[in-house]
Amino acid sequence: MTEIEKRQDRSPVPSAFDYAPAPESRDVVALEDRYGLFIGGEWVEPKSGDYQPTISPATEESLAEVAYGGPEDVGLAVESAREAFENGWSDIAPSERAKYLYRIARILQERSREFAVLESLDGGKPIRESRDVDLPLSAAHFFYYAGWADKLEYAFPNRKPKPLGVAGQIIPWNFPLLMLSWKIAPALAAGNTVVLKPAESTPLTALLFCDVVRQAELPPGVVNIVTGDGRAGAELVKDSRVDKVAFTGSTEVGKEIQRAVAGTGKKLTLELGGKAANIIFDDAPLDQAVEGIINGIYFNQGHVCCAGSRLLVQESIYEQVIAKLKRRMGTLRVGDPLDKNTDIGAINSKQQLEKIKELVAAGEEEGAEIFQPPCRLPEKGWWFAPTVFTNVAQSYRIAQEEIFGPVLSVLTFRTPDEAVEKANNTPYGLSAGVWTEKGSRILSMSQRLRAGVIWANTYNRFDPASPFGGYKESGFGREGGRHGLEPYLRFE
Amino acid sequence: MLEAIRDVYEETGRKIGMKPAGGIRHAKQAVQYLVLLHETLGVEWMTPDLFRFGASSLLNDCLLQIRKEKTGRYQSPDYFTID
């Protein structure tokens, strides 16, 4: 053995390979101490006089005070939207409307870093996701619907599409800016004006969006933002001058809204919860499938209505998939949402954390086997380690109820028929994933699964051109694509 | 390829090394490969016995970066034969 070979023989294995923190700078965001309501293109004090702090879930610090609009405030916002609709917005040339939307899209792109940092600060989602998913998709939505604004006649030939009037929109806290874009872009493209209520725990990007609205010189009153809690939302739904209600959020609230608009003639779309099945067949490429499983359930801490929260694995590859999955989970980094290396950020609110804990406890009690990779959670803030349950029966709460957290339940199946039956055995029907090498199997599964969105060999992939929405208790109506315009139009 | 190495190790217990070559010219790209290696196979593989770069121009960029770390200034690429 030569001298060099001897030395190589002894070459040491490092004890660890740690990554230095790579936090994104907070300095790009300038927050006010206090935010009012954005009505008629102006910041106004709420008549209710009520302000509440909005809290960063990663540090529990208060970021700013935000107005909580009351009935009077909501009324003013609807009035201003109605006025903007009657006096101008519905009459301007559609190509002009398109210009405004293009302008908003470009400004969002230009200011994307600022928005991404703020989204992560206020909502707790990893900066990697807000930077690479939320912001590009938000801008893409405005670009996409800007294109439709002057082509409505071609989208719906011979049906004479006309705008509805005022759209009242209520959005959730899991993708605050993206959901805002999903709502506002098609509404404006169709010629409506909007009153939007952001979620109470994540209002800041919507408030920063008001700045974009001003920068784009949108006529006052076309976009109104009223922050507040469920009471403001209920007022907005109730208001008789609202022609269309769009809601994304929990099934429970969705049912209430449906009751409230019953008999009023208001148009309604609901995008509610889900308990999606992610189905892995034995001919799937396993390493890619494991990445898909991880992306399906741990994306945005599992705060995704279409999250692949039920994993259905064919029995012949069960052991292998679980081993690979557990190893992959060990490499997930939980921590500071602003760190570019973080995979899983903070749980959005304390209530949500309590709900996740309750359901996980129920899972353990019912007899499922729990696995969590060893990981240190930060002391301050709200966190939950990535979790997987095996030995799950279909009747367990963790297999039936939407957890909306980083918790995966694993079931097995033997035949495609059994997979379909188990996947459809849920009150929801929003999304599903199929992993297989066979194209024919993908097609047959997609016809038999009762879900609005089916991903093949991928998961959680979004595009503004593709309609998104659910079956059964996951709601009705579609957002995105040409289908997303329809709920904002009336036809003669 | 790293995943294939992992599969072989799991089935047979044999540790196979990897030597990527071609197109790796900068220290930054090398770090990306090291992260890939670490994420897929873990620290056990992070030894010259099991992982090497077969990229000659990488050496010069590494030397340049090391000098920068030491002095705080970038030297002229001429000293390190970087094209």
Mean pLDDT confidence for A321-329: 96
B43/A13 Cβ within 8 A: yes
Question: Can you tell me the distance from the alpha carbon of A345 to that of A348, in angstroms, rounded to the nearest whole number?
Answer: 9
Q: Mean of the pLDDT values across residues A251-274?
A: 95
The percent of residues above 70 in pLDDT, for chain A, comes to 98
Backbone dihedral angles phi then psi of residue B24, each to the nearest 5 degrees:
-95, 100
What are the CA-CA distances from residue A120 to residues A216, A303, A461, A483 (Å)? 24, 14, 20, 30
Q: Indicate if the pLDDT at residue A8 is higher than 60.
A: no
Residue-wise pLDDT for A358-371, tens only, equals 999 999 999 999 99
Phi, psi angle pair for A75, to nearest 5°: -60, -45
What tokens appear for B60 in the block?
């010069």
Q: Please indicate whether residue B45 or residue A14 has the higher confidence score (pLDDT).
A: B45
Distance from CA of B74 to the nearest CA of A (A): 22
CA-based nearest residue to A279, from A398, A412, A460, A397: A412
Rounded to a whole number, what is the distance in Å from the CA of B75 to chain A's nearest CA?
26
A331/chain B closest Cα distance in angstroms? 7
The verdict on A157 touching B (C-beta cutoff 8 Å) is: no
Report the C-alpha gap between A479 and A475 in whole angstroms.
11
B47 touching A (Cβ < 8 Å): yes
Best mutation target, B8, B32, B46, B50, to test chain A (most A CBs within 10 A)? B46
A contacts of B43 (beta carbons < 8 Å): 13-17
Measured CA angle at A254 (ends A397, A243), to 5 deg: 170
| Average pLDDT for chain B | 91
Q: Specify the higher pLDDT residue, A88 or A409.
A: A409
Residue A263 CB partners (closer than 8 Å, separation 6+): none
- Mean local confidence (pLDDT), B6-11: 93
* Nearest chain B alpha carbon to A323: B10
Q: Which of residues 319-338 of A touch B (CB under 8 A)?
A: 331
Q: Is A4 on the interface with B (CB under 8 A)?
A: no
Predicted local confidence at residue B72, as pLDDT:
92
Place of tokens 């081993």: A323
Q: What residues of A are annotated to the active site?
A: 271, 305
Q: What is the Cα–Cα distance from A202 to B79, expressed in whole angstroms?
A: 53
Query: Is the CB of A17 less than 8 angstroms away from the CB of B46?
Result: yes
- Which of B9, B47, B52 has the most A C-beta neighbours within 10 Å, making it the best mutation to test the interface with A? B47
CA distance linking residue A443 with residue A191, whole number of Å: 37
Is the pLDDT assigned to residue A217 strictly greater than 90?
A: yes
Contact yes or no for B44 and A8 at CB 8 A: no
pLDDT-derived band at A491 (thresholds 50, 70, 90) equals very high
Rounded to an integer, the average pLDDT of A407-412 is 97
pLDDT score at A13: 83
A7 vs B3 pLDDT, higher one = B3
Taking the Cβ of residue A8 and every Cβ of chain B, the question of whether any pair is shorter than 8 Å is answered with: yes
Q: Taking 70 as the threshold, does the pLDDT of residue A2 lie above it?
A: no
Q: Please report residues of A whose CB lies closer than 8 A to that of B33.
A: none
pLDDT tens digit sequence for A17-32: 888 999 999 999 999 9
- Pairing of the two strands A431-435 and A277-280: parallel
**Residue B83: predicted pLDDT:** 58
- CB-CB under 8 Å, B43 with A14: yes
**A–B interface: beta-carbon pairs under 8 A:** 23
CA-CA distance, A185 to A223, in Å (whole number)?
Answer: 11
Mean pLDDT of chain A: 95
Question: A374 in contact with B at a CB cutoff of 8 Å?
Answer: no
Residues A421-435 have pLDDT tens digits of: 999 999 999 999 999
Cα gap A260→A250, rounded to integer Å: 15
d(CA B49, CA A341): 28
Distance from CA of A334 to the nearest CA of B (A): 15
- Read off the DSSP letter of residue B65: H
> What pLDDT, on a 0 to 100 scale, did the predictor assign at position B78?
82
Q: Are A301 and A406 a contacting pair, CB within 8 Å?
A: yes
Q: Which residues of A touch B49 (CB under 8 A)?
A: 8-9, 11
Provide, rounded to the nearest whole percent, the portion of chain B with pLDDT above 90: 73
pLDDT tens digits for range B28-53: 999 999 999 999 999 999 999 999 99
Q: Which of B3, B39, B49 is closest, CB to CB, to A331? A: B39
> How confident is the model over A213-240, as a mean pLDDT?
96
Instruction: Give yes or no for B3 touching A (CB within 8 A).
Output: yes
Would you call B32 an interface residue with chain A, using a CB distance cutoff of 8 Å?
no
Nearest-Cα distance to chain A for B4, in Å, is 10
Distance CA A101, CA A329 (A): 41
Confidence band (pLDDT; 50, 70, 90) for A125?
very high
CA A28, CA A121: separation in Å to the nearest integer?
12
- CA distances (Å), A184 to each of A94, A136, A231, in order? 16, 16, 21
Flag whether pLDDT at A11 surpasses 80: no
By CA distance, what is B47's nearest residue in A?
A13
The domains found in chain A, sorted by start residue, are 26-272+472-491 (3.40.605.10), 277-456 (3.40.309.10)
Q: What SS3 class is residue B42?
A: coil
Please give the helix or strand (H or E) that residue B31 lies within, else none: helix B27-41
* Chain B residue closest in CA terms to A17: B43
Residue A171 near residue A187 (C-beta atoms within 8 A): no
SS3 assignment, position B45: helix
List of chain B residues whose C-beta atoms are within 8 Å of the C-beta of residue A343: none
| Mean pLDDT across A311-320 | 97
**What is the reported pLDDT for B44?**
92
* A124 contacts: CB under 8 Å, gap ≥ 6: A56, A57, A58, A301, A337, A345, A346, A347, A348, A381, A382
Sheet with strand A51-55: strands edge to edge: A34-35, A62-67, A51-55
Using a CB–CB cutoff of 8 Å, tell me whether B48 touches chain A: yes
Extract the tokens encoding A430: 């929003």
CB contacts, 8 Å: A332 with chain B = none
Least CA distance to A15: which residue of chain B? B43
Contact criterion met (CB < 8 Å) for A14 and B46: yes
A11 shares contact with chain B (CB less than 8 Å): yes
Counted residue by residue, chain A has a size of: 492
Rg (CA), chain B: 15
Which 3 state secondary structure label does DSSP give B21? strand
